[in-house]
Structure 1
């Protein structure tokens, strides 16, 4: 399950217990599905009773805006519970990091970058003269795996970072709290450095690359999003994609980089992105690959993108299962929401696939 311990437990204990409590406490008076909300009929391959239970629980989460569940390429359930439609691009917050990692994968496939490339020569004058000499050791892979060693700019440091006049220079000037290639240090600044590296290496904006290498072959929209004071597109936050676009993104990865008959990413890249580098979040216990979180759900390996507030893409290749959930990105004061989404996966959606297999 999506917790530090990988053993299955009942709803009475652990992370799932806390999540189940939050689900049970959801008001039945929550806002009903928006007018015109889409819902497909259930398809074979998922246990209808368990899926129905998950839908009922999901409908009572006031922060949840949409949910899509697909099995073996077939949409089994989709609904916009509230808020924008399933085709409206929404802020996916830090799930942007996973999309950005895929842009980097496409750049590597095209020979524009290598995982082993050191970033300082690519960035050139963007590296401040005052930066610690260890910046010279940071590679593209270190950025993707959150192992750059630099003090994170997320959490309590985020505000100072985005208020700075030069985001790339500020992130590169942070003190080293570990060596490059050391422990995982989750940081939006690290992802933003990757955006700058992509721009410097290709001579094209991150937006242009994302549209050309991902949006066009997936036949989805990626609207423009915010940029730093130097014009570098925000790497790691604020991207917008619709729930259905996120489903195509997740399905492409489930299919080893293929979208229909179109090769979007090499299969070897997807395998590498889903290989844990050994880094583990001290807050959740989850491991990390190249832009993807890695854990288990109901005993099955799950790879997921995770954005603040509950912007989720779950991919379980062993079950041919992909699920997307989007939530209010600006909600405050709602505790346990992401844990409740994990519980939906652990206790209803994944078991529905196991029983329907």
Structure 2
């Protein structure tokens, strides 16, 4: 029960109730038709429960406000395919594009061109390094989420000493890079834990599983693993189960997909850091509509996260992601 109380307290303490920066962005870039009722949503990856949950809420909000939402996504979290989809979508001249950029630099030029042509840009989940293009950005506070993951893992490990591994996806992905940074800086405060070099999985569960298997062989003192997103967490859980180390090596995942929730319930994962993708999708549509109408738009918004353990998961089920609408 001690673990339950600590994890729940951590989740509550770092619950970020959608606070914004208070900055107001202009609706800049070309002339936008205020009567344009067409919106586009381009998420990071088709079928991923985080993005499915976002899309479901976005579709519901758009319909409620009398707008049409064209939602598309690449098969994999890849810049090239997303860029192709983006080019096709903007040719239909929506009033706004709501997008989760799969690369924080490469998509800047096409998004700037869309802005110049009067299409409002709203970033959801991920963001460009160039902050001048989008009228609004909505995401979880990923740095704080990484810190919460480290705090949760440290308490799960207790006083044991050993090595810890962080699994990132692809360098240049703003969300997971921030989670990894928060995790690394917070875990350094725990002298009993030795952080191994961060490994990149190319967002493939199989690659994550291979890395964890190799790390177990090279570091028999491994006591903890942090997966910075759904795919890395699922792959890590598979590797630990295959090695018979589930529960011996504490695994903290990020996101609460149906598979991750199942793994938490059966002990393959010890904690999940859950986001609120539905709120991001809903608010993304609201920001896009406001920008189309020429209304003031809050530039930066961060939504809440919470640490979920096996002990408190039934009380936190509202944070579980959807596999379909």
Give your verdict on TM over 0.5: no
TM-score (norm 1): 0.26
TM-score by length of 2: 0.28
Pick the structure with more strand per residue.
2
